[in-house]
Amino acid sequence: MPSAKLTFCGAARGVTGSCYHLALDGVELLVDCGIFQGAVGDDDADDVNRRPFPFDPARLAAVVLTHGHVDHCGRLPLLSRRSDGAFRGPVLGHPATLEIARIIMADSAKIAQHAHGDPLYDDGDVTDVARHFQPLKGYRDRRTVGPFTIELFDAGHILGSSSVRVSWRDPGAASGERAILFSGDLGVPDAPILRDPNRAWDPERHTVDWVVTESTYGDKLHPARAEARRTFREVVERATADGGKVLIPAFALGRTQDILYELDRMIEGGELRRIPVIIDGPLALSATQIYRRHPECYDADAMALLERGDHPLELDHLIEARDPKASRRAVAQHGPAIIVAGSGMCNGGRILHHLEEHLGDPRTDVLLVGYQAARTLGRALQDGAREVRLHRKSIDVRAKVTTISGFSAHGDRDALAAWHAALPRRDGATTFVTHGEERSSLPYAQLLGDRFGARTVVPSLYDTVELG
């Protein structure tokens, strides 16, 4: 029996571009096909995205998506783009993941249209690849592709997010099979709306020989979620008392729904007076609609609310600003309001119009709930800039700026390690540590070895390993 081969085509010693290629008996399978962002080693991400894949897309039997973030699905349209030999197989995933991937890829094509240079792909390419979408029934549904059996498990990161177990028969193995589990991105236990990353493994059916695990925060510990919630509530309460605006720059997918959920809890619980909440942006609104359509992904708390007739993502005072006209109305609206808009780091998007209008007002509060990368406007505000440039204008910052950490969508070091410890692994199993900068992946690999005696490898981009 020939052994399977695994190639790391992304997110190796970096966090973006997730893409893993698995080959056995002439059958090829891809897990994720994400876009690279920022820098990849010494190279510009845009150049790396334009490189030919280290495999032939036409030979792929299927692609499986772990979730719909752009760094996991953003290169998918490139697979079916080549006229000489394009991918024609099914794209498999949780139904919610495929719905999210569709809007994320369309958004990515829209952004590319407005960027300089030749766009990576266009909306036609997105439509082409979306024709191949074949949702599984959900978690625990199994699908066979050639020699491979594929099964999804809840990863608790964003709606539909999955860990993917791939197994195949091997008469030479004591168990008669071999199996590898791709963690996907792993969420934070006890985060709102979603269930925790799966830990209910059945050793009879789920034991694996190899693990590919993310390590985004493999070297960090998050503040407790409860503490983040408390701070968030206090700041919003204080901020709305003076009748000013509360501006929350947030990622359209995941973070916006988290914030909406927390606000709904506070308003319904009487902790916050009823003031308008505005979600400004078509992507955030579409993502929220997909969240509303998939209550089967909710955790017990969110389900209990739903059963009581209080939809956790529907607020009485919610204003949905989808088109630019509605956005302009939202910017000009008088009186107190909480405004959630992208981008999460204020380096583009509709939040800029709100900042331009309200940063000069001392009654305004800016709440930073996500990571702010260097050289973004969000970071400048976080660092206490008193003057910023926006739309070629200089603006005095009189607004209060508050940072709340603890709303991460990725589990921290201890959450990752606890997830790994719960997973049934066969003797001699190897764990590949990916999806993390070296400063996270290397110490995390070390920790898995020291604490659990795990055999670990931190692969580099385009490394191929034999699974045998």
Residues that bind Zn ion (CB under 5 A): 69, 185
Give the separation between CA 437 and CA 216, rounded to whole angstroms: 7
- What residue type is assigned to position 335 of the chain? G
Instruction: Catalogue the E-assigned strands of 26-161.
Output: 27-31, 39-40, 43-44, 60-64, 91-93, 133-135, 142-145, 148-154
**CA nearest neighbour of 109 among 85, 82, 140, 130:** 130
Work out how close the CB of 159 gets to Zn ion at its nearest, in angstroms, rounded to a whole number: 11
CA atoms within 13 A on the CB side of 357: 18
Backbone angles phi, psi at 369, to 5 degrees: -110, 0
The least distance separating Zn ion from the CB of residue 69, rounded to whole angstroms, comes to 4
- Residue 72 CB, nearest distance to Zn ion (Å)? 6
CB of 214 to Zn ion, least distance (A): 8
Nearer to Zn ion, 16 or 207 (CB): 16
Shorter beta-carbon distance to Zn ion: residue 80 or 161: 161
Q: What is the dihedral of CA 236, 241, 247, 249, to 10 degrees?
A: 0
Q: What is the amino acid identity at position 370?
A: G
Beta carbon nearer to Zn ion, 185 or 365: 185
Q: Residue 6 CB, nearest distance to Zn ion (Å)?
A: 21
- What's the farthest any 2 CA atoms get from each other in the chain? 72
Minimum CB separation of residue 67 from Zn ion in Å reads 6
Compute the half-sphere exposure of residue 192: CA atoms within 13 Å on the CB side of its CA.
22
CB 464 within 8 A of CB 6: yes
DSSP state of 12: S
Q: Nearest Cα to 64, choosing from 100, 96, 98?
A: 98
Instruction: Rank residues 222 and 353 by Cβ distance to Zn ion and give the closer one.
Output: 222
The SS3 call for residue 89 is coil
The CB-of-283 to Zn ion minimum distance in angstroms stands at: 15
Question: Which CB atom, from 147 or from 160, has the smaller least distance to Zn ion?
Answer: 160
Residue closer to Zn ion by CB (options 69, 265) is 69
- Of the candidates 30, 46, 50, 27, the one whose C-alpha atom is nearest the C-alpha of residue 38 is 46
Contact status, residue 9 vs residue 132, Cβ threshold 8 Å = no
CB of 64: closest distance to Zn ion in angstroms? 15
Q: Which is nearer to Zn ion, 74 or 89 (CB)?
A: 74
Best CA proximity match to 396, nearest among 433, 364, 428: 364
Q: In this complex, which beta carbon is closest to Zn ion, that of residue 159 or of residue 381?
A: 159
